[in-house]
Amino acid sequence: MMAGLQGALPRQSATPGSKSYGTALAILSFLAVALIGVLLRPALPVDETRYLAVAWEMHQSGDWLVPTKNFAAYSDKPPLLFWTINLVWSLTGVSGIAARMVGPGFAALMLWQTGRLARALWPDQPGIDTRATLALLGLPVFAALGGLTMFDAALSVAVLAGLLALLRAGAGARLGWLCLGAAIALGVLAKGPVVLLHLLPAALTLPLWHPSRPSWRQGLRITGLGLLAGALILMLWLVPAAIHGGAEYRRAILWTQSAGRVAESFAHARPFWFYLALMPLLAFPWAWVLRLWPAAWQADWHQGGLRLCLIWSLAALTAFSLISGKQLHYLFPELPALALIAARLAGPAPVSLRLAVLPFGLAALAILLLGAGLLPAGPALADLHPSSTLTAVALILLAVIWAALTAPGLVGGAILSLGLVLSANLVVGLTDLGRRYDTAAIAAVIAPRQDRGIAWIDGRYSAEFNFAGRLTRPVDLPDPAELPAWIAAHPGGVILGTSTSPGPGWRPALHLPFRNKIHAIWLVPDHPMPEVKP
């Protein structure tokens, strides 16, 4: 795989629009590393396990209009990811591996779309599509988050589809606005109205960056028609879902999860500079490549493509900096903009990653010393056993660094990115760390007892065990005052919580580690019978 990537750029055809074997090889390499990650590590709680549970319950109920979590209406997220997982299951049968490859599948589509967008923006640049694909793959944030079961890759596919539609519409394509509307609807179904924060700035400034320089009137017409078409397409799901889901679900999807969240999000729970501080990480390694800095100063920023990338990325950065709910993955749809800038500035000449790989070389050395027992391992590293795994991962990481330094052009960044993700998955999957985050052990205990009742007594339950246990009925959530009545109604049931939660009053049958806590399992048949006084 690594050797193939090293040859990707030299084999790239110099004819714009020709078949790009380098792009295909980059996409296949990403999918291979993502599949290895899925096979090595468990579904990560609470997000991945929750989304798998929602997809599983959709499969169980056959209701594709209103998703459920723990068999209650789930309005936090739209249904596109769950639909896609169920479509895959219609071909493969219910499979955790198949479901967890849906997210990477969307990310692979992002790689292809980024290459297409690069070729559309700079048709006179031979090989720009492969360079853009490799530049995106070379961002470790993309390679890591793209391998997870999340909504951001699907949202990014919609954003990239919208930008490609804007290019066609600005050039006079008759149905370009309809394609824009379909992309907007797809984005809302992927993650909600937030797609507009990523897409509208580019749409509203179409005359500033489009190569054909359409008029402002034409740009507004395309944007307005696209919004109207998107709303009409969205109604095909929204109206029947709002009717079918009832008043509470209707209120949630029409207000709480859209305008309500935005209205409540300006409390600045995190500082406005949060994303600025993360930029060295988001743009790694390309922000660390010294040769790109002089190229940036010399670049013609009046070019439409570079101008689009700046509008697209800076507008989203500003908007999300003002909103308090900040997470690293919220700017995932802007990673292709960073990749396009890096690909355009780098050109076909080699780039050096010496500065970028330095911290990882030191990290590999530290891991090697830990594995050999020459560095003390504190309590935070207690789960990193066996130590032989650390030694093997350190050697792999050193080999990856060497390959990245010797590879041509942007291929080195792609090798480094995939190698880092592969090394991280090896650490999780081959040490005790992975077992601590695996829901399988607890699910195996509670699933056989679901007909007799399962209760969770430790606050919020995110359906962590519903998919792993293939549960077909909800986990009950009694509060402490309701627990005695629940026990009386479920004489064969099982109670699950943490060892620090107020238990039912007798000794747990099992203690199992999960995440950062020890979980306790009480069997109701073990309930001591009250003494009968004569």
Per residue, what are the HEC states of 469-518? CCCCCCCECCCCCCHHHHHHHCCCCEEEEECCCCCCCCCCCEEEEECCEE
Provide DSSP, 280-348: HHHTTTGGG-TTHHHHHHHS-TTSHHHHHHHHHHHHHHHHHHHSS---GGGGGGGHHHHHHHHHHHHTT
Q: pLDDT per residue over 216-249, tens digit each?
A: 999 999 999 999 999 999 999 999 999 999 989 9
pLDDT reported for residue 268? 43
Cα–Cα dist 515/519, whole Å? 9
- Listed range (90-99, 261-270, 308-317, 358-367) with the worst mean pLDDT: 261-270
Higher per-residue pLDDT: 389 or 399: 399
pLDDT reported for residue 529? 59
Q: pLDDT per residue over 446-475, tens digit each?
A: 999 999 999 999 888 999 999 999 999 999
Residue 297 has pLDDT above 80, yes or no: no
Region 337-349: what's the mean pLDDT? 90
% of the chain residues with pLDDT over 70: 91
pLDDT reported for residue 301? 78
Cα–Cα separations (whole angstroms), residue 468 to 51, 58, 182, 297, 432: 12, 15, 35, 53, 19
Region 358-376: what's the mean pLDDT? 80
Residue in 353, 442, 363, 365 with CA at minimum distance from that of residue 403: 353
pLDDT reported for residue 469? 96
Tokens matching residue 516: 């950062």
Q: pLDDT per residue over 169-226, tens digit each?
A: 999 998 999 999 999 999 999 999 999 999 999 999 999 999 999 999 999 999 999 9
Check: CB of residue 373 under 8 Å from CB of residue 154: no
Cα–Cα dist 143/133, whole Å? 12
Q: Can you name the residues that pair with 523 across neighbouring β-strands?
A: 494
Task: Read off the pTM.
Answer: 0.92
Question: Residue 17: pLDDT band by 50, 70, 90 thresholds?
Answer: very low
Question: Residue 534: pLDDT band by 50, 70, 90 thresholds?
Answer: very low
In 323-465, which ranges are continuous DSSP H helix?
A: 335-346, 354-371, 387-406, 411-430, 432-436, 440-446
DSSP-based three-state secondary structure for 201: helix
Q: pLDDT per residue over 303-329, tens digit each?
A: 889 999 999 999 999 999 988 778 889
% of the chain residues with pLDDT over 90: 66
Residue 377 has pLDDT above 80, yes or no: no
Per residue, what are the HEC states of 20-73? CHHHHHHHHHHHHHHHHHHHHCCCCCCHHHHHHHHHHHHHHHCCCCCCEECCEE
Tokens matching residue 241: 């879902």
Contacts of 343 (CB under 8 A, 6+ apart): 118, 128, 131, 132, 134, 135, 410
pLDDT reported for residue 177? 96
Tokens matching residue 377: 């391992």
Angle at 180 between CA 177 and CA 181, to 5 degrees: 90
Residue 260 has pLDDT above 60, yes or no: no
Q: Quick one: 328 exposed, middle or buried, by C-beta within 10 A (0-12, 13-18, 19+)? A: middle
Element (H, E) at 520: strand 517-523
Q: Residues 383-421, buried b or exposed e (16+ Cβ, 10 A)? A: bbeeeebbbbbbebbbebbebbbebebbbbbbbbbbbbb
Cα–Cα dist 355/360, whole Å? 10
Other CB atoms within a 10 A radius of the CB of residue 105 amount to: 17
Residue 378 has pLDDT above 70, yes or no: no
Q: pLDDT per residue over 20-77, tens digit each?
A: 688 999 999 999 999 999 999 999 999 999 999 999 999 999 999 999 999 999 999 9
